[in-house]
Structure 1
Amino acid sequence: MSTLCRSTATEATEPGPGGRGFSSALCGGGGRVAGLDGLRTVAVVLVIVYHVLPDPLPGGSVGVDVFFTISGFVITRLLVAEYARTGRIGLWSFYRRRWLRLMPALLVMCAVTAVLAVAFAVPMFRDVWVAVALTAGSAVNLVRAGEPGAYSGLTAPFGHTWSLGVEEQFYLAWPLLLLVLLRRGRARVVLCWVAVLCVLPVIWRTVLWDPAAAHRIYNGPDTRADQLLVGALLALVLARLRADDPRLVVLRRWAGRLCWPALALLALIVWQIPITGPSGWNPLWYTAGFLAAAVLSACVVAALELCPRSWPSRLLSLAVPAWVGRNLSYGMYLWHYPLIRLLSDFGVRGGRLLFAGLTVTLLAALASYALIERPLLRRGRVRARRPEPAVVAAA
């Protein structure tokens, strides 16, 4: 979104019956930010490289933290825009869109992997049927959270879908909670409550902390909620500030100033700080570190949203990374782990594994996008133009 869009669209559009202090969401809720799509590409590539070569990038899993913050931001921006425009949130429509966006591609990935399990007798596929059931039920993160020692083979080869479980559980609860907040409080009250919710998981992680609870903290939807909620809080702040609000000018200035330091600190985490495995079970990271990563990610997201002419925004908005992030990042995340594990079981190692893994992952993501995701998205857009009877109205 450009600065001009934020200025003109906000002034030209009157808030709907549910505006109640979030009228700026009417501009911000409809368009994509190319820089955010480019950031998705960077995050998914980091995760893939980390899964192939963890030693050079011990903190590469922070790409998932970035994804969480982006998801909280984007989803909340859409929800608050709908509420500001109509005074209601179409819950059935929201859940249906999320299901169409996430589950068909996920189920196809599970089915193809199950076929591979029948075709190839490799160690990774021994418990594939249990793993398929857990993945389809978005329960991989819950199972992993209950394993105090090394992860069992119960969720292989879908261990990476723990993060999808966290997001899907957030998507289930957050629209309902946000609706309650929007209906019962003014904008400032809503912002205060969401800010409090961002801090609660830190307190809860501190209470839980023990090396034996590392998996519980890393995989729990409650213990990772602050990373999604920080993105949600940013979306609400931007929806609160009108184009003529001097605080928006201050926020834009500081977002531009903090973007490079935030990127540098995230890069330092990727390069130097182990996060997973016993060597990464640092009490500071497993209590406050997740929130710190979310705040750094939110600084970058704010700069990409508010400063489209800045260098980070220009670089991440380049056509190739933006297109890949917009259309292929989800498919790349889905397919990379089982494919890389399969190649590894066939004896591919090191740099060859990274090159081959990236190649087959891109091909699988392209097929997923062309054959599954894009047709369903088009169908969803057509359905979205029709009146939705199942909505929850604002008071």
Structure 2
Amino acid sequence: MAGLDGLRTVAVVLVIVYHVQPDLVPGGSVGVDVFFTISGFVITRLLVTEYARTGRIGLWSFYRRRWLRLMPALLLMCAVTAVLSVTFALPLFQGAWVAAVLAAGSVVNLVRAGNAGTYSDLTAPLSHTWSLGVEEQFYLAWPLLLLVLLRHARARAVLGWVAVLCVLPVLWRTVLWDPSAAHRIYNGPDTRADQLLVGALLALVLARLRADDPRLALLRRWAGRLCRPALVLLGLIAWQIPITEVSGWNPVWYTVGFLAAAVLTACVVAALDLCPESWPTRLLSLSVPVWIGRNLSYGMYLWHYPVIRLLHDLGVRGDPLLPAGLAATLAAALASYVLVERPLLRRDRFRVRRLEPVVSGRSPAL
């Protein structure tokens, strides 16, 4: 799905702009919400396809592939940050080695969730890795739960159970909501699980519907209709809603808003899959954003925060910081891809037996 890679590029650029000049996009952190739903969709699609072809989910193989895809690049970024903190007198990197240790352990989100007031300085240099912690904690639990559901429940029951799981975090956030609980809700793996599960539910629905199923045609029609309004609403959220600041939007966003962002993203993802000729799909499938999203988006997210802090400490501030930060982030991400990510992925590809494609074009798992 080339358009999905293009959507990744849009999301990561949105997050970078938000971190450099939040006044431009006060709700730019919605890019992380988009990433969560994409991740739930992609991971579940891979797992369901494997189950359809083999009747099982190779958990050890899944965890190994996830580790190789995510952790070496993360550990490199943490190591560089730790070296900067102990080697140079950089104000924004003081004590960053502690943040590097927490980030390497994928627990930054848990530390931040425990902060009732302002965020702890322990995580500040690498605070953006909170979202990686949420995703990696989801990756640990979801394959096990999905395997149990696929083995012991009928197709409709699987969809029903996952739909219920999508609602439970909303109810839990409503119970927890209080201004002092904002950090707990924003960073908790349990309170953000619905965004990943909405993507998972979409993947299961698409796997359930064969190419000749009339319900697939209905879904395709509605996905095409809803894609553009969904993109507009996500853009308005980024432009107008100060998600991480104290505002009148907080009670709504921190209860039902996360789910709303996930549903909007799911509408876009469904259209990218089912409507290849629509203009949003063609626009997001342009070669440059697709290549960046497929190969550099993870590295860009990893490196943009320490790169921006380093440039700031070196005196690059004000308006020049955004273009300089984007350029330096792209360079760091490209180096990470060429030197770390691509070699490991190529080596792993030779170790994994390639599976034959499903003739119908859709997984018959459900």
Give me the TM-score of the superposition, normalised by structure 2.
0.95
Whether 1:211 and 2:211 are equivalent positions in the alignment is no
SS of the residue 1:154 aligns to: coil
Q: What whole-Å deviation, never above 9, does each CA across 1:164-222 have from its counterpart, x for those lacking one?
A: 00000000000000000000001100000000000000000000000000000000000
Cα distance in 1 for residues equivalent to 2:86 and 2:25:
34
State yes or no: 1:50 paired with 2:10: no
**What letter matches 2:92 in structure 1?**
M
Question: Which aligned pairs between 1:130-169 and structure 2 lie closer than 5 A?
Answer: 130-169=98-137
Q: Does 1:193 align with 2:143?
A: no
Structure 2 residue 53 is matched with structure 1 residue 69:
no
- Residue 77 of structure 2 is matched in structure 1 by 109
Deviations 1:65-84 (A, max 9, x none): 00000000000000000001
Partner of residue 230, structure 2: 262
Instruction: Give per-residue Cα distances to partners, 1:342-391, cap 9 Å, x unaligned.
Output: 2122332222000110011000000000000000101111111299xxxx
User: What SS is found at the alignment partner of 1:275?
Assistant: coil
**How far apart are the structure 2 equivalents of 1:67 and 1:125?**
27
Choose which of 343, 346, 357 in structure 2 pairs with 1:378. 346
How far apart in 2 are the matches of 1:161 and 1:280? 27
Count of residues in correspondence between the two structures:
356
Instruction: Give the C-alpha shift of residue 127 in structure 1.
Output: 1.8
Aligned counterparts of 1:296 and 1:280: Cα–Cα separation in 2: 21
Partner of 2:335: 367
Percent identity of equivalent pairs: 83
The amino acid of 1:161's aligned partner reads: T
In the alignment, residue 362 of structure 1 is paired with which amino acid? Answer: L
Q: Which residue of 1 aligns with 2:49?
A: 81
Q: 2:274 aligns with which of 288, 302, 306?
A: 306
Structure 1 stretches of at least 4 aligned residues deviating more than 6 Å after TM superposition: none
Report deviation, 1:122.
Answer: 1.7
Per the alignment, residue 338 of structure 1 pairs with: 306
1:339-354 correspondence runs (5 A): 339-354=307-322
The answer (yes or no) to whether the contact 1:335–1:361 under 8 Å persists in 2 is yes
Structure 2 gaps, min length 5: 356-364
Aligned to 1:121: 89
**Cα distance per residue 1:91-142 (max 9 Å; x no partner):** 0000000000000000000111112223321222222221111111100000
Q: Is the 8 A contact 2:86 2:97 kept in 1?
A: no
Indicate the residue corresponding to 2:360 in structure 1.
Answer: none
2:190 equivalent to 1:222: yes
Q: Deviations over 1:318-338 (max 9, x none)?
A: 000000000000000000001
Does 1:248 find its partner at 2:216? yes
What are the Cα deviations for residues 38-58 of structure 1, in whole angstroms up to 9, with x where unaligned?
000000000000000001210
Q: Distance in 2 between matches of 1:121 and 1:383?
A: 44
**Amino acid paired to 1:224:** R
Task: Report the CA distance between 1:314 and its aligned residue.
Answer: 0.3
The runs of 5 or more residues in structure 1 that have no matched partner are 1-32, 388-393
Contact 2:223/2:270 (8 A) holds in 1: yes
Structure 2 CA distance for partners of 1:99 and 1:280, relative to 1, 3 Å? farther
Shift of the 264–386 alpha-carbon distance from structure 1 to 2, 3 Å rule, reads: closer
Question: Taking structure 1 as reference, are residues 262 and 151 closer, same or farther at Cα in structure 2, changes over 3 Å only?
Answer: same
Measured in 1, the distance between the counterparts of 2:101 and 2:140 equals 19
Deviation at 1:159? 0.2
TM-score, length of structure 1 as denominator length: 0.88
1:280 to partner: Cα distance: 6.9
Measure, in 2, the Cα distance between the counterparts of 1:167 and 1:131.
18
